[in-house]
Chain A
C-alpha cells in the first residue's frame, strides 16, 4: 500500500493531509487487529472438538460422568453404572478443557487390557493402505492417458468419471452391494478394497496436474527415443511426486474415516475398521471413546503435520472443474 501511495498522481496527493495519513495508518492497524480477532474466534471454534477429544481422553471415567452424566446417563443401562453416576453427577454439564487429574486409565484399557481396539485399528490399516496405494497406481495410468491423449471420446469418458466421482454414496450403494454379491466377495475385505482401488477421485485430480506438464518436455523425450512407457515412468511420474503425495493424503483421510461402506458390505463386525467400531462404543464408556478417538487421530495428524503443504496444494489443484 505504501508503495502505491507514492505513485499517486500529484493532484490526488495534494488532497491528502498529513494527519489523515496517520489516521489511515491507525485505521489499517485497527482493521488488522479486528480481522485477526475474527480469525482467532473462528480458529478456536474449529479446534474445540479436537481439543475436547484430547483433553477428555485423559480424564477418569468418574470425572467424565461428573461432567457429562446428564447427557449420557440415559444410555447407561447397568444399575451399578446408574448409582455411580448419580453420586458424582453435578447439576450442570461442565465443559472442561483441563482434567482435574490426568490419568492414563482409558489408554491402559484401550492399549493393554482389551485387544479388540488394536485389532480394529489394524483392520483400518489393512483396509486403507491397499486402497490408497493401488488407487494411485491405477489412477496414474488413467490420468496419463487423459492428459496426454486428447479426443472426443476421452473427454466424454472424463466427464463420466467426474459424474461417478460426484455421485453421493447412497446412489452407488446398491450397485456396490450387487457387484460384491456377484463376485462373491461380500463380507470380505475385498468388497471394500476393490471398489476403492477404482474410485475415480484420484484420476480426476492427477489428470488436472498432468495436463500442466509442458508438451515440449514430452516431445523432447520422444525425440530422444523414449517410448510411451518410458515417458510415463521417467518424465510424467517424477514430475507428479508432489501431487501424488497430496492425492494420497486426501484419499487416506477419506477412507480412514469411512463408515457407510463397512456397515453395508461387511456384515461381520470382526472385519470392521475402528472408525465404525468407534461409533458403536457403549455410551456408558464415553471416556474410553475419547481415548480411542485420540489414538485414531494420530495417523492423520502425523500425516497432516508432515504433509500439510502437499495437502493444501492438492486441494488447491482440484480448484476448478475443468483443467
Chain B
C-alpha cells in the first residue's frame, strides 16, 4: 500500500458525504472509460461484422429489389412464409431438431452417468467419446457413405441376418441416418457438460439420501436431476444450435436437393443465396433469427427460474 493512495482514501473519509459521492462518481466515470476501452475492439468488430449488416438485411427484407429499393412492407415475409419450399424446409428442420435434441440430451446424460459410476478406464473412455470432434467433415461424410450406402456395410449386415436392404439416403430413413451422425458428433461434448454438472452435486446431499433409503432411481429423479437442470437447458440450447450445423454433412452427403425429409432450412437458404434472391433470403434470415431469439430467450428465462429453484 503506497502512501499516496492511503492519503487519498483518508481524505475522502474525512470529508462529508457529498464529497465522497463526488469522488465516487468521478471514479466511476474513469472506470466507465476503462471499461469502454477494454470492450471497444470487440464491440466495434461485432457492430461492424454482425450487427450493422443485419440492419441492411432488415432493409432488404422490406424492399422489392436491390435496384429500385421500393418499400413493400411485409410482402417479402408473406411470400417466404407462403413458399412451399420454405414450409417444407421449416417442417423438416423442426422435426429433425425435435428428434435429435431430446435424444442428444438423454443419451449424453446416460453416458455421463455410466462414466460417473466408477468404471475402469474412465479417462480413456472420455477421450474416445470426444474423438469425433477431431475428424474432418469430409472424412465423416466418406465413412457415412461406406456405412449407409445401398451397398454399404449396414445393409450387408442386415442382409446377412436375413433382412432386406434399406436405401438409407433415398427413403424416409435418411433423417435417421443424419440423426445418428449428429449424435455421434455431439454426444461427447454434451457428456462432458453433464459430467461436470454431476460432479458438482454436493456429496453430503447424496449421502443423506442413501441413509434415508432412497433408491438409485429416486436419487436420480429427485436429487441429481434437480441439480443438473441448468445444464440440461444449456445442453438443449447447444444441441439445438449444433442441429443446425449438421447441414455441412448433409450437404456434402446429398447435395443441393436431398430426398424428402432432409431438405432443411439451410438448403433453402443456400439455394436462395445461389439464385441471388436477396429479398427472399433476407426475409427468411429475419424469420429464422426471430424464432431463434424467442426460443433462446424462453430457455434463458426458464433456466433463470429453475436455477433459483435449485439455489434457494
A binds B: yes
The residues of A with any CB-CB pair to B shorter than 8 Å are: 4, 7-8, 12, 31-32, 35-36, 38-40, 42-43, 45-50, 52-53, 68, 70-72, 92-93, 95, 138-139, 141-142, 144-146, 148-149, 154, 157, 159-164, 166-179, 194-195, 197-198, 200, 203, 223-225, 228, 232, 253, 256-257, 259-260, 264, 274-275, 278-279, 281, 286, 289-290, 293, 296-297, 300-301, 304, 308, 311-312, 315-316, 318-322
Q: Which residues of B contact A286 (CB under 8 A)?
A: 142
CA distance A253 to B293 in the complex (A): 26
Whether a CB of chain A sits under 8 angstroms from the CB of B74 is no
Q: Which residues of B contact A7 (CB under 8 A)?
A: 211
Whether a CB of chain A sits under 8 angstroms from the CB of B292 is yes
Q: Which residues of B contact A148 (CB under 8 A)?
A: 35, 38
27 cross-chain CB contacts under 8 A: A4-B210, A35-B119, A39-B114, A42-B125, A43-B128, A70-B149, A70-B151, A138-B45, A141-B38, A149-B32, A157-B39, A162-B296, A169-B244, A171-B292, A174-B273, A175-B57, A179-B48, A198-B49, A257-B136, A278-B137, A279-B138, A279-B252, A290-B142, A301-B134, A304-B133, A322-B230, A322-B303
Whether a CB of chain A sits under 8 angstroms from the CB of B127 is yes
Whether B129 contacts A179 by the Cβ 8 Å rule is no
Type the 1/0 row for B267-291, where 1 means its CB is closer than 8 Å to any CB of A: 0011001000010011001001100
Q: What is the minimal beta-carbon distance from A58 to any residue of chain B, in angstroms?
A: 14
Whether a CB of chain A sits under 8 angstroms from the CB of B201 is no
Q: Which residues of B contact A296 (CB under 8 A)?
A: 136
Chain A's closest residue to B58 (CB) is A175
Whether B139 contacts A293 by the Cβ 8 Å rule is yes
Q: What is the minimal beta-carbon distance from A34 to any residue of chain B, in angstroms?
A: 10
Those of B1-48 within 8 Å (CB) of chain A: 1-2, 4-5, 31-32, 34-43, 45-46, 48
Whether B42 contacts A95 by the Cβ 8 Å rule is no
The residues of B with any CB-CB pair to A shorter than 8 Å are: 1-2, 4-5, 31-32, 34-43, 45-46, 48-54, 56-57, 60, 111, 114-115, 117-121, 124-143, 145-146, 149, 151-153, 156, 184, 187-189, 192-193, 195-197, 207, 210-211, 213, 230-231, 233-234, 237-238, 241, 244-245, 247-248, 252, 265-266, 269-270, 273, 278, 281-282, 285, 288-289, 292-293, 296, 299-300, 303-304, 307
Whether B234 contacts A223 by the Cβ 8 Å rule is no
Whether B46 contacts A145 by the Cβ 8 Å rule is no
Q: Assuming A145-B35, A256-B136, what are 5 further A-B pairs, CB within 8 angstroms?
A: A32-B119, A46-B184, A176-B49, A312-B192, A322-B230
CA distance A315 to B197 in the complex (A): 11
CA distance A203 to B231 in the complex (A): 20
Chain A's closest residue to B131 (CB) is A50
Whether A203 contacts B119 by the Cβ 8 Å rule is no
Whether B137 contacts A39 by the Cβ 8 Å rule is no
CA distance A308 to B124 in the complex (A): 11
CA distance A36 to B273 in the complex (A): 48
Whether A321 contacts B303 by the Cβ 8 Å rule is yes
CA distance A259 to B141 in the complex (A): 13
Q: Which residues of A contact B145 (CB under 8 A)?
A: 71-72
Whether B278 contacts A53 by the Cβ 8 Å rule is no
CA distance A38 to B112 in the complex (A): 12
Q: Which residues of B contact A162 (CB under 8 A)?
A: 296
CA distance A145 to B5 in the complex (A): 24
CA distance A145 to B252 in the complex (A): 41
- A316 and B193 contact, Cβ closer than 8 Å, known pairs A49-B135, A174-B57, A279-B137: yes
Whether A198 contacts B285 by the Cβ 8 Å rule is no
* Of A92, A154, A176, the contact of B156 (CB 8 Å cutoff): A92
Chain A's closest residue to B192 (CB) is A315
Whether B1 contacts A312 by the Cβ 8 Å rule is no
Whether A161 contacts B46 by the Cβ 8 Å rule is yes
Chain B's closest residue to A92 (CB) is B156
CA distance A290 to B37 in the complex (A): 48
Q: Which residues of A contact B127 (CB under 8 A)?
A: 304, 308
* Of B1, B49, B137, the contact of A259 (CB 8 Å cutoff): B137
CA distance A290 to B142 in the complex (A): 9
- A174 and B282 contact, Cβ closer than 8 Å, known pairs A138-B45, A142-B41, A142-B42: yes
Whether A71 contacts B151 by the Cβ 8 Å rule is yes
Q: Which residues of B contact A260 (CB under 8 A)?
A: 247-248
* Of A93, A149, A297, the contact of B136 (CB 8 Å cutoff): A297
CA distance A167 to B143 in the complex (A): 29
- The 5 lowest CB-CB distance pairs between A and B, nearest first, are A198-B45, A175-B53, A316-B196, A142-B42, A168-B244
